[in-house]
Structure 1
């Protein structure tokens, strides 16, 4: 028999006349996650110790307030924001992370009974009925999940793992329903207030449940194994989904989308030392964030834009575009260093740490690595396979043009620039089924647009391509990038980064992702 028994309140029994033992103010997060009553023993609960689990204690709960909300009632909050601990009661436990709310009762390892009230009904009195909910999830599955990966296949984890996870995590479900409803509104013109309200609720719930991440990190705590892997996964999936939502909502959604990207970056960096072995979904989402983060950094110029960027995980080097993205980010960092030295008047060509020929060789090797890794996908020998090979060429030459302009300036032979521009436009024009690879085109199409200042024919090609991207993907934001390119073509600015910096200074970030 256990040496310590618990009353229904969760406190340890004591001998008559003795003083009450000290207890924690609320159930520990591990017991809450396990849905059992915590004994709240100090310094850590006995139930965690008996199960050889890490008990994180009962300290202040920390909320992530900035880095996510750029609008609504959360706008302007700073992080970390510390909630004062309160004496817990049966109804004061942490918000449930499953669609059905639960309450503390019963004994150890006894599931807590479901609440009669669905938490969504409290947030949304007019929350979609089950059939509408099912239709929105199906739309995400069939129309949106494929837009969020390089190649849509049976191995698309957004469809295979994220959709089932949404059935267990209310925040992720809200994010998916929001982007699905918004996408339907854009593509079918059926306007509704639900997407924005679902987005706001998801952001609020993330802000309430981002415990033990940035706050504890800032306070000097070693997060280690205290961070719940399941929590990290649904939060990261929700942030990436919300970033895509913002891109679909308005032509100026980059700032809001970027706030979600920054929040996701902070989350992943905070968990960098946490053991996440065999967490397939977290690894997938981390690499999805790396793609987004690295490409976004090429056109965002703030002082912190390249700080703590998420890179492809070293042990995932066999993923497609992994080597390419790592090299591209190094080019971006070197280009920012060049700009700083030019601004201070201390730049010398000798400061560039790589030659143009070495850059070409590096990207050529990365192209080969991507094609080899893509072979694992087993694409059939049809138009999709041919188009993917063209997409690899598209990114290769777009990266070379980007490198020539931002890192080497006018120090590369014009014949090299012209050759890559020619192949880039040829490969874009040769795509057989653009509708199946539109999600891959915004960044290289942007680079192509910066290379056709004095060529009206190429300008018309890029303009139509961006209009098609916005229409086929249902993301209005890409029309804003087209506006930027048209301003560039009409101006006398010779370096597109100058105009992009000016746009950013006026609150209009360019994110061609």
Structure 2
């Protein structure tokens, strides 16, 4: 596993950038003196006015000001469990250089898991020497399981355009870390869905994290110090690192009911990597753009239920030039609601909140999400879905997210200071659409977040509670992700503590080390 290490922007950071990271026992992080300036101003190389609660220069530019506290970054890769627990990062030789350009072009063409087996005899030394690395037959079976069962769970709609299957899987041939991550999640998913336990997944995960940590440690250090990263990381390296991080985040969700904290560390690492590349010209890569947008979906939805002070800082938003992607406009508006709700909470805690300070009204929110729904349906036309149950279910999914977002907005931003009829209308449609899905197995991966929101709306309704419990049980069992059973435990706790806002209970969970990530 990886650890969090404190990073500071400004002169204090630059002065210490050349020193190795300082960690305490079991990866406890060392915190240098706080910089007097906000990291956004430091990165833009302008003088920060240090206004509270956020600097005026960030406000005028419409930027999210992260304040003046410490920022945490993923680095050094010290394991917190498994056989690597407590160890520092060992020296591991870098993977061999890429094959020739001809081979590289071939690797990006659609290929099946069976074709990957043919190159197993030429595995890099770092993989061949890995203790317990599966034999060629087992490796082929695990890659095929990823191809047939897991890749489809990681996108809105599975199709021949699924880049996890079309591009990421062949890339694993060339990148040992990505191969380990894919084999780990595939073996773990098989163990969960078939009941056959394997010792390989956790060790593969630890090895992959260690190797990623070795690569990213210097990169994040250089970024914190303000150096140009053009010579530090190339597009191919960025792609396999980002693909590995997203895969490992999903792995953690399959392992335990409490895997959110571990998965979240991989999300934070991926966020750090993408933000680092945003300052360079190295992100112009089709697969990187796909993975970046996948991270954006994960990042924005995760932020709705995580409440740490830095949870909404430097979030990966949908790329502006990819506005035609499905749900991109929806996700951007949803994140704005999350940021505004956190600002309201901070002002209320300080006793300075005024309802007139909210940047939008409930009517504005409804209009904004309605427009986003239309944009999503128009963008979905590019998918050319056949006129069957999958097409009808996708339209229902769009409605489900629309009304879930409205209910989320009513609760976290307006604290239900809206007409009760509006709240009940969205709740009714949300439950109706969930119940109307014709082919649930093909769209279960899209349901954890809206089903969570639906679950927060039925504290007084045993019938709806039973429906949500069945939904989350099906999601956990059919997808093979144990973590969703932990979300159900949270909802059952919420239902038993009548009158407690779900956000308050989620904050309590987070304070005790149990993050709620309904993604």
Q: In the alignment, which of 92, 100, 123 is matched to residue 130 of structure 2?
A: 123
| 1:170 corresponds to 2:165 | no
Question: Does the 8 Å contact 1:239/1:261 carry over to 2?
Answer: yes
| 1:404 corresponds to 2:403 | no
Distance 1:320 1:70, change over 3 A: farther
* Higher normalized helix content (fraction of residues): 2
Q: In the alignment, which of 460, 468, 473 is matched to residue 462 of structure 1?
A: 468
CA distance in 1, matches of 2:123, 2:399: 56
CA distance in 2, matches of 1:93, 1:425: 51
| 1:362 corresponds to 2:365 | no
Question: 1:487-498, aligned counterparts within 5 Å?
Answer: 487-498=493-504
Aligned to 2:516: 510
Question: 1:26-175, aligned counterparts within 5 Å?
Answer: 65-66=75-76, 69-72=79-82, 94-97=93-96, 118-124=125-131, 126-175=132-181
Q: What secondary structure does 1:210 align onto?
A: helix
Offset, 1:278: 4.9
| 1:194 corresponds to 2:200 | yes
Question: 1:378-397, aligned counterparts within 5 Å?
Answer: 378-397=384-403
Question: Does the 8 Å contact 2:92/2:211 carry over to 1?
Answer: no
Which ranges in structure 1 are unaligned for 5 or more consecutive residues?
1-62, 84-91, 101-113
Offset, 1:493: 3.5
Distance 1:425 1:67, change over 3 A: farther
Aligned to 2:9: none
Tell me the TM-score normalised to structure 1 length.
0.80
Offset, 1:121: 2.9
Distance 1:363 1:265, change over 3 A: same
Q: What CA deviation, in whole Å up to 9, does each residue of 1:376-399 have, x standing for no partner?
A: 011000000000000000000000
Q: In the alignment, which of 229, 235, 259 is matched to residue 241 of structure 2?
A: 235
Q: Which has more radius of gyration?
A: 1
Offset, 1:358: 0.4
Question: Does the 8 Å contact 2:124/2:176 carry over to 1?
Answer: no
CA distance in 1, matches of 2:341, 2:81: 32
Distance 1:296 1:77, change over 3 A: farther
CA distance in 1, matches of 2:353, 2:450: 29
Which ranges in structure 2 are unaligned for 5 or more consecutive residues?
1-72, 100-120
Question: Does the 8 Å contact 1:254/1:508 carry over to 2?
Answer: yes
CA distance in 1, matches of 2:198, 2:476: 20
Offset, 1:473: 0.2
Q: What secondary structure does 1:401 align onto?
A: helix
Q: What CA deviation, in whole Å up to 9, does each residue of 1:447-490 have, x standing for no partner?
A: 00000011111000000000000000000000000000000001
Question: 1:288-307, aligned counterparts within 5 Å?
Answer: 288-307=294-313
Q: In the alignment, which of 307, 317, 324 is matched to residue 318 of structure 1?
A: 324
Distance 1:277 1:178, change over 3 A: closer
Q: What CA deviation, in whole Å up to 9, does each residue of 1:406-453 have, x standing for no partner?
A: 000131100000000000000000000000000000000000000001
Question: Does the 8 Å contact 1:64/1:206 carry over to 2?
Answer: no
Q: What CA deviation, in whole Å up to 9, does each residue of 1:251-307 have, x standing for no partner?
A: 000000000000000010011022246511000000000000000000000001000
CA distance in 2, matches of 1:398, 1:116: 47
Distance 1:418 1:67, change over 3 A: farther
Question: Does the 8 Å contact 1:74/1:204 carry over to 2?
Answer: no
Distance 1:117 1:314, change over 3 A: closer
Question: Does the 8 Å contact 2:410/2:423 carry over to 1?
Answer: yes
Question: Does the 8 Å contact 1:177/1:195 carry over to 2?
Answer: yes
Q: What secondary structure does 1:311 align onto?
A: coil
Question: 1:219-258, aligned counterparts within 5 Å?
Answer: 219-224=225-230, 226-258=232-264
RMSD, matched Cα? 2.2
Distance 1:68 1:148, change over 3 A: farther
